[in-house]
Amino acid sequence: MSAEPLSMEKALERQHARSAPPKRMPDLGLLKREFRALGEDRYRLDVPEMAVSIEIDRLRREHNELLGELAVSCGIPGAYTFDGSLSVADFNVSSVRARQDRAKLLAARSNAPQFDWLSLIEEFCQRLLRAEREGQPAVDLRLVARPSAVEETIDIDGLILPQRHPSMIFGDGGTVKSYTSLYAAGRMAQNGSRVGYFDWELAAEEHRDRLERLFPDHMPKIFYARCDRPLVYEADRLRRIARENELDYAIFDSVAFACDGPPESAEIAGKYFRAVRQIGVGSLHIAHITKGENADKRPFGSAFWHNGARSTWFAQLSEATREESALQIGLFNRKSNLGKLRAPVGFSIVFSERQTCFRRADLADNHELVLQLSVRQRMAAALGKGSLSPEQIADEIQADVETVRRTQRRYKNLFTVIEGGRIGLLEKRSS
């Protein structure tokens, strides 16, 4: 009858027993130990005198148990390590049996069975569970620093985005949303931010070509990551990329391919934004629109896509320029949780053989895009060259005469009625 195969731990124990003399290890209770949180779901316990550290990352709850990736590094002479790492594997923090099994493995791998690995693992698990239960303490809001309006927003040629919160650009297919987002990423990088581009649609080669066309003189540094799985499964990798490269901001292209279920589901939208929060950087997300009435008001799918983003922008391409070498798009702020709605932004995009140029454009000059402006904005544009009668204004901006009069009365700080009942801009009255 053949002997039962030895486990790795048993094999290492026997090998060490034959080849290495017993080591005298210091009492763990006399050694200094340092436990600290490195992030929302990342903790570490160090024993400096032994060059031992235990770190857990990617914490998650499954079936009421706390799991994570446990990495142990060790500087004990004779330890079997790879690049200083003794062991890296998933670990069930809630399981007593898992603690015992991992301690046996570490004792064998470290070639130091006299070191009290079980006590160290037990202490780490207890500290971790306590920290998770307590969470972050409450704070007195009166003592929290007030955010600076300048520091809290990013201005990309008039496109205003929150610096630390998720924003969304949504529009129909072919409205150059990805191109516009890459341009925004490049402008952020030029201004000193470290930006990532997380892509579910194209490939690195296409974005590299676009980046060179947008910035032919000097391509800004963009950290690109191709994604093939839904965001909830890519979040760990993207969080690591963000942390290792110290990213300030990231583009997510696009929501439809990054969600792990039907976009119409509120649960799917909630899971998506929880994953975004775990990655921990400011972000711009590209989404599509639904077909039908009010498609320009919010992105396709559950209302929680619109609700979850702190700022949303609708992108519309002027059909008059779709087939030409110069396109014109308008970006219209549909939601702003952190301040007032921002002014619309227009861009003219000129394509040549080797270069793509983004330039600001006046939406009032485009007969299609101007219709996305509010009546107030269209009136202000129409009156820029002089006063007009309510009927003339209504005809020019394609609005009802009574709507024009009501808008004038509502915005008396902007419009004024002059001789003959004509309406003019308030700042024009003295001229």
What tens digit of pLDDT does each residue of 17-65 get? 545 544 566 778 788 999 999 877 789 999 999 999 999 988 888 888 9
Are 341 and 281 contained in the same domain? Answer: yes
Digit-coded pLDDT (tens) for 206-215: 999 999 999 9
Are 118 and 248 contained in the same domain? Answer: no
- Residue 151: pLDDT band by 50, 70, 90 thresholds? low
- Position 291 pLDDT exceeds 50: yes
Are 380 and 327 contained in the same domain? Answer: no
pLDDT for 114 equals: 85
Are 321 and 397 contained in the same domain? Answer: no
From 324, 340, 366, give the residue that closes a domain: 366
Q: Report the alpha-carbon distance of residue 172 to residue 315 in Å, rounded.
A: 8
**Cα→Cα distances 74→14, 22, 100, 204, Å:** 21, 18, 18, 38
pLDDT for 180 equals: 97
Domain holding 408, by residue range, is: 374-428
Average per-residue pLDDT in the chain? 89
Count of Cβ atoms closer than 10 Å to residue 204 Cβ: 12
Count of Cβ atoms closer than 10 Å to residue 99 Cβ: 20
pLDDT for 380 equals: 87
> Is residue 398 left, alpha or beta, with left meaning phi > 0 and alpha meaning psi from -120 to 50?
left
From 338, 366, 394, give the residue that closes a domain: 366
Phi, psi of 145 (to 5 degrees): -65, 135
145 falls within a domain: no
Q: What type of residue sits at position 127?
A: R
Are 94 and 182 contained in the same domain? Answer: no
1 falls within a domain: no
pTM of the complete model: 0.73
Helices 8-19 and 96-110: angle between axes, nearest 10 degrees: 30
Are 107 and 204 contained in the same domain? Answer: no
pLDDT for 11 equals: 60
60 falls within a domain: yes
Q: Which of 232-241, 324-333, 420-429 has the lowest mean pLDDT?
A: 420-429
Q: Report the alpha-carbon distance of residue 128 to residue 139 in Å, rounded.
A: 22
Q: Report the alpha-carbon distance of residue 145 to residue 163 in Å, rounded.
A: 16
- The angle subtended at Cα 352 by Cα 350 and Cα 353, nearest 5°, is 160
Q: Locate 15 and state its tokens.
A: 């090998």
Q: Report the alpha-carbon distance of residue 312 to residue 284 in Å, rounded.
A: 9
Q: Which CATH number belongs to the domain containing residue 334 in this structure? A: 3.40.50.300
- Position 277 pLDDT exceeds 50: yes
* β 52-62/42-47 pair status: antiparallel
pLDDT for 36 equals: 93
- Position 156 pLDDT exceeds 70: yes
From 366, 386, 407, give the residue that closes a domain: 366
The radius of gyration of the chain's CA atoms, rounded to the nearest angstrom, is 30
Digit-coded pLDDT (tens) for 384-431: 888 999 999 898 888 899 999 999 999 988 999 988 889 999 864 433
Q: Report the alpha-carbon distance of residue 372 to residue 295 in Å, rounded.
A: 12
Total residue count of the chain as it appears in this document: 431
Percent of the chain with pLDDT over 70: 91
Number of domain units in the chain: 3
Nearest in space to 79 (alpha carbons), one of 16, 132, 5: 16
Q: Is the peptide bond before 19 cis (omega within 30 degrees of 0)?
A: no
202 falls within a domain: yes
Are 319 and 181 contained in the same domain? Answer: yes
Q: What is the mean pLDDT of residues 97-101?
A: 97
Digit-coded pLDDT (tens) for 106-121: 999 999 888 999 999 9
**Taking the CA of residue 230 as centre, how many other CA atoms within 13 Å lie in the half-sphere pointing to its CB?**
14
Q: Which CATH number belongs to the domain containing residue 406 in this structure? A: 1.10.10.10
Are 422 and 399 contained in the same domain? Answer: yes
Q: Report the alpha-carbon distance of residue 321 to residue 327 in Å, rounded.
A: 5
Q: Locate 274 and state its tokens.
A: 């929880």
Nearest in space to 213 (alpha carbons), one of 322, 350, 346: 350
146 falls within a domain: no
396 falls within a domain: yes
Phi, psi of 167 (to 5 degrees): -120, 170
141 falls within a domain: no
Are 387 and 405 contained in the same domain? Answer: yes
Are 277 and 383 contained in the same domain? Answer: no
Digit-coded pLDDT (tens) for 349-393: 999 989 999 999 989 888 889 888 889 888 888 888 889 999 998
pLDDT for 370 equals: 86
Are 126 and 163 contained in the same domain? Answer: no
Are 164 and 268 contained in the same domain? Answer: yes
